[in-house]
Amino acid sequence: MMRSLYSGVAGLRTHQTKMDVIGNNIANVNTIGFKSSSTLFRDVLYQTTSNATGATASTGGVNPNQIGLGTKVSSIQTSMTDNGAAQSTNNPYDLMLNGASFFIVSRGGSPCFTKVGNFTVDGAGCLVTSNGYQVMGWQVDPEDPNNIKKDTVSALYPESMDNKTSAPEMTSEAHMKGNIDFTDVNLTSVDGHVMSLNIYDNLGFNYTVKFKLTLDENQADKSLYNLQLMSIKDCNNVEILGGDDASTPDITEGGYQATIGGGQSIQIKFNPDGGKFEYVGAAGQDSALLQITPLTNDKGNVFQSVINGEFVEGINIDFHGLTMYESDGTCTAKAVRGSTGSEGGGRAMGKLEDVNIDTSGKIFGVYSNGETRLMGQIAVANFVNPMALEAIGNSMYVATQNSGEFDGIGSAVDEDGGSMAQGVLEMSNTDLSREFTDMITTQRGFQANSRIITTSDSMLEELVNLKR
């Protein structure tokens, strides 16, 4: 009879533990990134009152007689791999992991792991959690700024002073496009067909280069044209290069000298039969170099630069996009900054305007001058047995002997089919319908075990009353 009392007590304790777990799940129903837990029971040691016997020729076998001694908690399992619902925040540093991966964070050099992605930046521009843990990832390869160097994880600084601004870049490429109709009266006038090209120097200042296109009247087939430099004005509309007479090829005023293809003008040749572009300057050439050089030492050589490791001494202008067809007497030729593939257009100095984080965790800075720069990549950790991670509070976990070790490098979130979503947070995965159902069964189980104790007590009372 005393055994039933202790079985009832054991049942009360285990159901109380289960109720504690349920209470914690419900309390965290609105905690971002919270992972709910469940409690499993198991029976405990049995007391054998008689052993089993085997069958003989004259007697049958007898089963053992055993009396259980109650129940205890077998395990408290956390549903680490079940994702909660997504909540949109539109904050660029709010992230949600889809899959079994964990963010890697650190404070004081010890790695911790979390599912909560409500990040921000501190005063140094470092990506941190709400409680000051640094978010870890990989840095940009110093030898290749367009790729990530997957080495030991370190703190990410998307808004460091170096990333606040984007350096200017000189224009190194341009191209001509459109159609030249030799019946256009402007092509035979003194002013010609005027084209403008906007360029940047290596300090990020903007200039406007003016050309005029005229028909070479010495060619009876109308297939040869002259492109002449007219002037260059800075962003304040002040001429740094140009003459009073636009028809004069000497445009060395203002302290600079400009040449295209080595001179103040260059010839463009078309096929007189088909109207297609043939060459510029000389047979076999489809581009010409626009060079702007200072005439005195007090002028900066701002139209030369090193771009992608190569010395650039001018602007390469591609002409193969021009044609010579009839178009109602209208010439549509124009000059465009950048190559036909939109490369080498140059830019002014830019300021960081936005941060984009793609599904693989790569961080890109978007600048006011149009540049998009890779800043790093957020790494994640994966564990063989994520349910064995030890919770240390603040939605943080640490690795244990049964979870598997963290190698210090981590992995990309998309390596195992997962992804990262920007501007959303993962909510708690607590299922209230299941929790309230478990609460009912737990309450009834607790009541039933309390009845074991009261009933056993009543039986003991009857036994004691036998003495009366």
Q: pLDDT tens-digit profile of 162-213?
A: 999 999 999 999 999 999 999 999 999 999 999 999 999 999 999 999 999 9
Q: pLDDT tens-digit profile of 393-425?
A: 888 999 999 999 999 999 999 998 889 999 999
- If one counts every other C-beta atom within 10 angstroms of the C-beta of residue 88, the result is 11
Label residue 245 by pLDDT band (50, 70, 90). very low
Q: Does position 254 have pLDDT exceeding 70, yes or no?
A: no
Structure tokens at 385: 């047995």
H/E run at residue 377: strand 372-378
Structure tokens at 72: 């205890």
How far is Cα 324 from Cα 446, in angstroms, rounded to an integer?
93
Q: Distance of alpha carbon 56 from its chain centroid, rounded?
A: 76
- If one counts every other C-beta atom within 10 angstroms of the C-beta of residue 105, the result is 24
Average pLDDT of the chain? 90
- In sequence order, the 6+-apart residues with CB closer than 8 A to the CB of 398 are 110, 111, 112, 113, 389, 390, 392
- In sequence order, the 6+-apart residues with CB closer than 8 A to the CB of 3 are 47, 67, 69
Give the global pTM: 0.80
The DSSP annotation for 434-450 comes to: HHHHHHHHHHHHHHHHH
The DSSP annotation for 289-324 comes to: EEEEEESSTTS--TT-EEETTEEE-SEEEEEEEEE-
Structure tokens at 430: 């607590």
How far is Cα 106 from Cα 379, in angstroms, rounded to an integer?
12
SS3 68: strand
In degrees rounded to 5, what are phi and psi of residue 64?
-70, 155
Q: Does position 255 have pLDDT exceeding 90, yes or no?
A: no
How far is Cα 177 from Cα 175, in angstroms, rounded to an integer?
7
Residue with tokens 């202008």: 317
Label residue 468 by pLDDT band (50, 70, 90). low
Structure tokens at 333: 């030729």
Q: pLDDT tens-digit profile of 144-174?
A: 989 999 999 999 999 999 999 999 999 999 9
| Predicted pLDDT of residue 243 | 53
| Predicted pLDDT of residue 218 | 79
Three-state secondary structure readout of 128-154: ECCCCCEEEEEEEECCEEEEEEEEEEE
**Segments of 60-192 assigned E as strands:** 65-68, 71-78, 86-88, 95-98, 102-107, 110-114, 120-121, 127-128, 134-141, 144-155, 165-166, 173-179
